[in-house]
């Protein structure tokens, strides 16, 4: 049929997965089109996720750090917070990055079509052109694009809870990042990373926090010993941490949002809040892209299943990022994007990462990768662990932040590292060494005998390996 352009590779969605795939395919000589409904490239991560949250968390961490200095004889007065300027800083950070992406797309001659795309058959996507920052306005114009290969990178969206009314005092992570005002009393629904990161920002800016979580602990996925350290350092932010508790009703009244709970830690009466952040998870966009017209299978929940080459059940259509499943993280999307693009460009590539790291950019940071101790126990695996408490780290003590620790998990038989975790300042930045060690099959001796610079926090990784090594009887 008629079309407005024919491409080797069509990429649907310009988040970290989509732009990485588009750029890689272009670098491999393909004619590429990238479809995105938002005004800027970068998807959730750059516009309303990873990057703006970290821009705000950085400022919050500096404010908190300065408070720690009081104990060292350096006292500052209370910070004056110009919330409009702070929001401006965050927007400038986003602008630098999304602008950089546009330049990179141009340099690679990747065509960008702004609009909402949906498959109309296995070789065509129809795009309803949009304007407005979030693509909210449809121009009424349509384009049909023909492709040889397609890469679906349409990501995920905030999961809505059915019983929650529309009210400006009830926000999701996107609304929270808009940073309109600092409430006195804030409820975070969902004790995962996103909720706790945004809670940290608002609390440092002056809000009192409550958090409600259905599971029996905050930051699910991380070992409890790490979370305990974070929780002790952050207890001052919270009035009430409600675990094994459900939010059952939310009512918007003139003087606040009233929330009722059910469960182990539920208060009897509805509680009043100035701001409620709903951070109860994200849902994949698989059902919103006309996948059925292309014959691409979508699960009940909206995920698209793929093989190790990122291929869907339709061999010339690939899928990557949040839309293919957990963990919903930007660095996973980027690597999957590269694999899909290479396969779509006639190469042979596989997603075969041993491990995918996870980091909570709270203060202190909580970072983990591979096998956790709790998981090893559950599976009955024989492990050796090496734990180095930062109370014995010269650098951590000099920094006045020695609450953390570094933990490495080894296979008891091979002594190879299979997991690791760090709680403490800069934990996320340090985690990469543990990821590399796991990917390379390093054992406790490899890591322990690697000379780390002194005095650094990273030394704690070498020390933890030495400790585990000492407990091995027959290291080769």
Q: Is 454 a catalytic residue?
A: yes
Catalytic residue among 236, 316, 454, 469: 454
Q: Is 366 in the site for ligand FAD (CB under 6 A)?
A: no
Task: Name residues contacting ligand FAD, limited to 178-197 (CB under 6 A).
Answer: 194
Q: How far is the CB of 246 from ligand FAD (least distance, A)?
A: 22
Region 187-246 residues binding ligand FAD, contact defined as CB under 6 A: 194
Neighbours of 103 (CB within 10 A): 9
- Crossing angle for the helix pair 427-439 and 459-470, nearest 10 degrees? 50
Within 413-432, the residues that bind ligand FAD by CB under 6 A are: none
Residues 30-58: b if buried by 16+ CB within 10 A, e if exposed: bbbbbbbbbebbbbbbbbbbbbbbbbbbe
- CB pairs under 8 A, 24+ apart, for 250-254? 250/161, 250/163, 250/164, 250/165, 250/170, 250/276, 251/165, 252/165, 252/167, 252/169, 252/170
- Exactly one of 8, 18, 304, 411 binds ligand FAD (CB under 6 A); that residue is 18
Q: Which stretch binds ligand FAD (CB under 6 A): 45-53, 241-249, 381-389, 453-461?
A: 45-53
Rounded Cα distance between 308 and 369, Å, is 20
Q: Which two tokens stand for residue 170?
A: 């009830």
Q: Which of 37, 149, 311, 469 binds ligand FAD (CB under 6 A)?
A: 37
Contacts of the segment 120-125: beta carbons below 8 A, 24+ positions apart: 120/144, 120/290, 120/293, 121/293, 121/294, 122/293, 122/294, 122/295, 122/314, 122/316, 122/317, 123/147, 123/148, 124/1, 124/3, 125/10, 125/12, 125/35, 125/150
Q: Which CB sits closer to ligand FAD, 175 or 256? A: 175
Is 194 labeled as ligand-binding? yes
156 binds ligand FAD (CB under 6 A): yes
User: What is the nearest approach in angstroms of ligand FAD to the Cβ of residue 151?
Assistant: 10
Return the number of the residue (266 or 353) whose C-beta is nearest ligand FAD: 353
Region 287-326 residues binding ligand FAD, contact defined as CB under 6 A: 288-289, 321-323
Binds ligand FAD (CB under 6 A): choice among 8, 36, 213, 459: 36
195 assigned binding-site residue? yes
**Judged by CB under 6 A, does residue 43 bind ligand FAD?**
yes
Cα–Cα distances (Å) from 156 to 286, 300, 326, in that order, read: 8, 15, 11
Which of 50, 105, 291, 317: binder of ligand FAD (CB under 6 A)?
Answer: 50
- Minimum Å distance from CB 351 to ligand FAD? 14
> 10 vs 442, which CB is nearer to ligand FAD?
10
The DSSP line for 231-266 is HHHHGGGEEEEE-SEEEEEEEEETTEEEEEEEETT-
The residue ranges that bind ligand FAD (CB under 6 A) are 12-18, 35-38, 43-45, 49-50, 53, 116-118, 153-156, 173, 194, 285, 288-289, 321-323, 328-331, 333, 361
Q: What are the catalytic residues? A: 454
């Amino acid at each position: 049929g008629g079309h407005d352009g024919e491409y080797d590779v069509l990429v649907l969605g310009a988040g970290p997965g989509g732009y990485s795939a588009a750029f890689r395919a272009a670098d491999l000589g393909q004619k590429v089109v990238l479809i995105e409904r938002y005004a800027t490239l970068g998807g959730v991560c750059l516009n309303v996720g990873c990057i703006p949250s970290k821009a705000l968390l950085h400022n919050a961490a500096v404010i908190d750090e300065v408070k720690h200095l009081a104990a060292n004889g350096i006292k500052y007065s209370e910070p004056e917070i110009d919330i409009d300027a702070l929001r401006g800083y965050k927007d400038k950070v986003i602008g630098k990055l999304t602008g950089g992406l546009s330049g990179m797309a141009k340099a690679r001659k990747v065509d960008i079509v702004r609009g909402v795309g949906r498959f109309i058959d296995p070789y065509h996507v129809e795009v309803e052109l949009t304007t407005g920052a979030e693509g909210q306005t449809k121009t009424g114009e349509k384009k049909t694009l023909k492709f040889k290969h397609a890469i679906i990178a349409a990501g995920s969206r905030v999961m809505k809870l059915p019983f929650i009314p529309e009210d400006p005092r009830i926000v999701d992570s996107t609304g929270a990042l808009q940073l309109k005002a600092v409430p006195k009393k804030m409820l975070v629904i969902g004790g995962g990373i996103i909720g706790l990161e945004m809670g940290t920002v608002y609390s440092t800016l002056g809000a009192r926090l409550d958090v409600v979580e259905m599971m029996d602990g905050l930051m699910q996925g991380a070992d409890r010993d790490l979370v305990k350290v974070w929780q002790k350092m952050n207890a001052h932010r919270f009035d009430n941490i409600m675990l094994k508790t459900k939010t059952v009703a939310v009512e918007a009244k003139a003087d606040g949002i009233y929330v009722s709970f059910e469960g182990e830690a539920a208060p009897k009466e509805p509680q009043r809040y100035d701001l409620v952040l709903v951070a109860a998870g994200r849902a994949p966009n698989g059902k919103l892209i006309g996948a059925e017209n292309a014959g691409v299978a979508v699960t009940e929940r909206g995920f698209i299943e793929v093989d190790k080459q990122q291929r869907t059940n339709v061999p010339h259509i690939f899928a990557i990022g949040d839309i293919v499943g957990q963990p919903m993280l930007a660095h996973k999307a980027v690597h999957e994007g590269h694999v899909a693009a290479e396969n779509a460009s006639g190469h042979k590539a596989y997603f075969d990462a041993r491990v995918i790291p996870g980091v909570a950019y709270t203060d202190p940071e909580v970072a983990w990768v591979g096998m956790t101790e709790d998981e090893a126990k559950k599976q009955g695996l024989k492990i050796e662990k090496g734990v180095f408490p930062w109370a014995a780290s010269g650098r951590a003590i000099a920094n006045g932040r020695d609450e953390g620790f570094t933990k490495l998990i080894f296979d008891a038989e091979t002594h190879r590292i299979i997991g690791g975790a760090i709680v403490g300042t800069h934990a996320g930045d340090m985690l990469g060494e543990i990821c590399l060690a796991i990917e390379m099959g390093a054992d406790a001796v490899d890591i322990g005998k690697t000379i780390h610079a002194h005095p650094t926090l990273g030394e704690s990784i070498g020390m933890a390996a030495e400790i585990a090594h000492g407990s091995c009887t027959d290291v080769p």
